[in-house]
Amino acid sequence: MAALNATGLREHSRPHLQELRRQSSYTVSIAVLDRTEIVHVDRARSHRRGQHLIDNGLVPGSRQPAYCTAMGKLLLAYLPEDEQQEILSEIKPTRRAPNTITSRRTLRDELAHIHEAGLATSDEELTPGLYAMAAPVRSVDGEIAAAMDMTAHSTMISLEELVDHLSPHLIASADRLSAQLGYRRDDEIANDREPTA
C-alpha cells in the first residue's frame, strides 16, 4: 500500500469516488492491475440497504482475480498485445459464479470488445448477484493507470439499467480523475495549438 499511496492515486481518487457514490448511491472503487490480479486502491461504500451482499470484505490492498471482474477485464483489455497474451497464459479461468468466463478464447474476445467500447461489465462473473461496470483512468502519458468501477446487487438494479443510466456518470468521474492526473485528450491538445485571433 505504501507504493500505491506514493503514486498519489488514492489521495487524488478519494473525492471523485465519494462524489460518484453520492450521485449514484452505489459502491464505487478504484484498482490497479498486478499481473493476473487487481489490487483495490480505494473504495466508497454505498449506504443502501443490502450493501452487505456485495462488500466481500474488500479494503484497500485487497486482491481479486482480474479475469472475472469488470475492473480487471478493463485493465487487461488495454495492455499491449504481447503483455496481454503473456498474462492471459498465466490465468486459469475457473467458474466462480453463474456467468464466469472459463475459456481463454472467450475472454480474449471479451477484452477486444471492451477495448473498443471503453467500458467493461461483469454480469455475475465473480459473485452470484453481483453486477459491476468499469471505466479507464489514464495517466499523463495516456496509458491506463487504473480502473474505476461501480457495483450493485441484482436486487437493487438490473445490469442494463446500471449501464444505461449510470455509465455516463462513471465515465465522467474517471475522465475528471484522469485530467487531475495530467491526462489530456488529443482534441484538448489540438485546441491549445490553434492560434488565437
The pLDDT tens digits of the residues spanning 166-182 come to: 999 999 999 999 999 89
Residue 101 structural domain: 2-56+66-179
Q: 195 in a domain, yes or no?
A: no
Q: Does the pLDDT value for residue 22 go beyond 50? A: yes
Number of domains in the chain: 1
Angle between helix 81-90 and 104-117 (nearest 10): 140
Q: 187 in a domain, yes or no?
A: no
Q: Output the pLDDT for position 3.
A: 46
Taking the C-alpha atoms of residue 108 and residue 111, their distance in angstroms, rounded to an integer, is: 5
Q: 106 in a domain, yes or no?
A: yes
The pLDDT tens digits of the residues spanning 95-147 come to: 999 999 999 999 999 999 999 999 999 999 999 999 999 999 998 889 999 99
Q: 191 in a domain, yes or no?
A: no
Q: 30 in a domain, yes or no?
A: yes
For the entire predicted model, the pTM comes to: 0.89
The pLDDT tens digits of the residues spanning 75-85 come to: 999 999 999 99
User: Any idea what the CATH number is for the domain that residue 112 is in?
Assistant: 3.30.450.40
What lies within 8 Å, CB to CB, of 33 at 6+ separation is 39, 66, 72, 75, 76, 79, 147
Q: What value does the mean pLDDT of the chain take?
A: 89
